């Protein structure tokens, strides 16, 4: 796994689509470049719709970007995420600097940015990608350990996460900076309808659902493609 962040270059090689997300991000980059600053871009989406596939493809989009995947290797430690990204930036710019202690990351990021600020290119932004932020033991703490806005021009933090649940918003620290963070809400806005499900499921539901290779599955969830560019998990049997 490259740079110990959990990114697998062999995974999701057949990934396609999601162009509306990339288009929104590219527009955000242009807006930030005009203001000579970087920013946050947060993709909120439900479980099972392909956030990790999206993040995996994003790592190699227009370069090779540092990334941390909370889910792929079962990592949930917040400091591990910040340490991996910090060290990846140091390696990228050949800077000999240790990752700071947990309570010193804010100052550590600023000191590192002072060294790389003039070497970043707003026309070819560098991304720090965090997939599955909600999978951290303490997602709010994970946000605290990321660099604080404003970010230097040419640097963006891209986050994928499930939306807040139970009334607790782990993204609150970013939402208070609307001029520095752009949110892309990809959560479901309408109930699934029969036409979005495969014909085999419509014929046999709720008894069986035909899976890969024509094999019948019973009582299990599977992913089905919908019209919004994502795939969703087939609902459980009623």
CATH number of residue 136's parent domain:
3.40.50
Instruction: Supply the Cα-derived Rg of the chain in whole angstroms.
Output: 19
SS3 50: coil
Q: What is the pLDDT along the chain (238 residues), one digit of tens a residue?
A: 445 565 566 555 565 567 889 899 999 999 999 999 999 999 999 987 778 888 888 888 877 789 998 876 565 678 889 999 999 999 999 999 999 999 999 999 999 999 999 999 999 999 999 999 998 989 999 999 999 999 999 999 999 999 987 778 999 999 999 899 999 998 764 333 323 333 333 333 333 333 334 443 433 334 444 444 444 444 444 4
CB contact at 8 A, 41 and 182: yes
Cis ω before 150 (30° cut-off from 0): yes
Q: What are phi and psi of 222, to 5 degrees?
A: -140, 165
Domain count along the chain: 2
If asked whether residues 141 and 227 sit together in one domain, one would say: no
> Which single residue is written with the structure tokens 């309808």?
193
The whole-model pTM stands at 0.75
**Structural domain boundaries enclosing 225:** 194-233
If asked whether residues 175 and 209 sit together in one domain, one would say: no
Structure tokens at 221: 């969830």
Q: Which residues does 136 contact at the CB level (< 8 Å), separation at least 6? A: 70, 76, 77, 78, 81, 142
The H-or-E segment that residue 160 falls in is strand 155-161
Q: What are phi and psi of 144, to 5 degrees?
A: -60, -30
């Amino acid at each position: 796994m490259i740079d110990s962040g959990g990114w697998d270059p062999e995974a999701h090689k057949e990934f396609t689509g999601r162009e509306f997300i990339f288009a929104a991000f590219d527009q955000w980059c242009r807006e930030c470049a005009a203001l000579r600053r970087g920013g946050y871009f947060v993709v909120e989406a439900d479980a099972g719709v392909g956030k990790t596939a999206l993040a995996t493809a994003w790592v190699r989009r227009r370069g090779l970007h540092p990334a941390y995947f909370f889910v792929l290797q079962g990592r949930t430690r917040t400091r591990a995420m910040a340490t991996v990204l910090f060290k990846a930036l140091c390696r990228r710019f050949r800077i000999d600097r240790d990752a700071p202690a947990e309570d010193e990351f804010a100052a550590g990021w600023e000191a590192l940015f002072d060294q790389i600020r003039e070497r970043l290119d707003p026309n070819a932004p560098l991304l720090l990608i965090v997939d599955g932020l909600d999978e951290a033991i303490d997602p709010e703490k994970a946000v605290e350990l990321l660099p604080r806005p404003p970010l230097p021009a040419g640097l963006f933090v891209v986050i994928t996460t499930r939306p807040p649940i139970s009334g607790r918003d782990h993204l609150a620290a970013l939402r208070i900076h609307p001029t520095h963070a752009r949110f892309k809400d990809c959560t479901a806005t309408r109930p699934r309808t029969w036409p979005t499900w495969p014909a085999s499921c419509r014929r046999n539901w709720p008894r069986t659902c035909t899976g890969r290779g024509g094999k019948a599955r019973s009582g299990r969830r599977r992913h089905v493609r919908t019209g919004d560019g994502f795939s969703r998990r087939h609902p459980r049997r009623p």
